Structure 1
């Protein structure tokens, strides 16, 4: 028998939402829905990172220890950056393993390094890498420094804050940042010069970038990179 194809990310997130509808307190679920809708409707898309922008001197913290200089990574080849929320985010625990299966192998074959980025402190963020045995780099963007530069950071709305505080914790305690700020999910492809060649930002964290368009853009980037090196 032919094995059926794995569902898309979109389908997996639809399943997650359906499970929440069936199991969550309706009022709590509505807070989540309203926050996501608010981001879609109010996000300042003019501020989002876009192709042609350049990143070179950014510094991240590898969850396995040590400082990660983007320039040093780029010296080895093009880089794909995947921004996500935090280690215990249910949607992130769907997306990152999915990217491990359906995105990272294709990128690696093209000579493109994958780095997943969250503002969560490294000692907590490392859990998602260990939980799923992720082979790509997972790194902390301290204080959302890079995320802010890319225009993808938002602050949880008042209802979301009140809901979490009622449970006895805060987002800042979960992430270790002391703030209610998170990045919107995003995928970037950078060439060796740090120039953004592909960018997709999804304000709704249950509507993330599928691997297909990223791999298509990655093929173009890899071709251009090979041509550039041949001309040197």
Structure 2
């Protein structure tokens, strides 16, 4: 008996949107659609992180305790950073388990480390790691410090803020940051020297990077670094 392959991440997000169209209050759905479209149309792409940029000294907070120094991680091998929104974000609860199944094993085999990053405070962010039994690192980017450096942070628009407040809470209360700021979904591949080899930023949070291009980028880094060591 054969089993069909699991849908792509793109298909899973298409299914999520179709479910929302069928079940969500139309006015609320339109606010969501309008915010995503506004981000796509207004994004400052010139400010986005890009290959050739360098990251080494940045510091993150592991949700399970302790400080993560990017330089120390890079000393062990290439690093893949995946920026997401927060622990109860429906789209993130699709993407991170998918990466657990389809990206993390390949990265581990290549000697690379996967770190998922959100501005949410560690004591709330840890929930998504525990819920899905994620084996990769989940880390808090306090005050969106790294996200801002990468040019990927946005502020929820007025309609989104009014809608959230009407539900009795604010985004800042959910994340523990006190702000309406979030990172756009982003994948960054770093070589051991901290230089960005691959970057993919999605202003639309229902569009996420598939595992294939990330694995290809890391393979290229591994080959490049092996060749450099052999030439030394």
TM over 0.5: yes
Distance 2:213 2:172 in 1: 33
TM-score of the pair, normalised by structure 1: 0.99
Distance 1:213 1:75 in 2: 23
The match for 1:51 is 51
Distance 1:181 1:141 in 2: 12
The match for 1:19 is 19
Distance 1:112 1:224 in 2: 14
The match for 1:152 is 152
Once the two structures are TM-superposed, the CA of residue 222 in structure 1 deviates from its matched residue by 1.1
Q: Structure 1 residue 38 and structure 2 residue 16: aligned?
A: no
Q: Report Cα offsets for 1:52-80 as digits up to 9, x if no partner.
A: 00001000000000000000000111100
The match for 1:103 is 103
Q: Report Cα offsets for 1:72-118 as digits up to 9, x if no partner.
A: 00011110000000000000000000000001111111111000000
Distance 1:230 1:56 in 2: 24
Q: Secondary structure at the match of 2:75?
A: helix
Map 1:71-90 to 2 at 5 A: 71-90=71-90
Q: Secondary structure at the match of 2:125?
A: helix
Distance 1:108 1:22 in 2: 39
Distance 1:151 1:166 in 2: 30
Structure 2's unaligned 5+ residue stretches are none
Q: Structure 1 residue 177 and structure 2 residue 181: aligned?
A: no
Number of aligned residues: 232
Q: Secondary structure at the match of 1:5?
A: coil
Once the two structures are TM-superposed, the CA of residue 187 in structure 1 deviates from its matched residue by 0.3
Q: Secondary structure at the match of 1:27?
A: helix
The match for 1:161 is 161
Distance 2:226 2:137 in 1: 23
Once the two structures are TM-superposed, the CA of residue 228 in structure 1 deviates from its matched residue by 2.3
TM-score of the pair, normalised by structure 2: 0.99
Distance 1:140 1:176 in 2: 11
Q: Report Cα offsets for 1:131-172 as digits up to 9, x if no partner.
A: 000000000000000000000000000000000000110000
The match for 1:117 is 117
Once the two structures are TM-superposed, the CA of residue 227 in structure 1 deviates from its matched residue by 1.9
The match for 2:8 is 8
The match for 1:192 is 192
The match for 1:226 is 226
Q: Is the 8 A contact 2:78 2:218 kept in 1?
A: no
The match for 1:132 is 132
Distance 2:115 2:141 in 1: 11
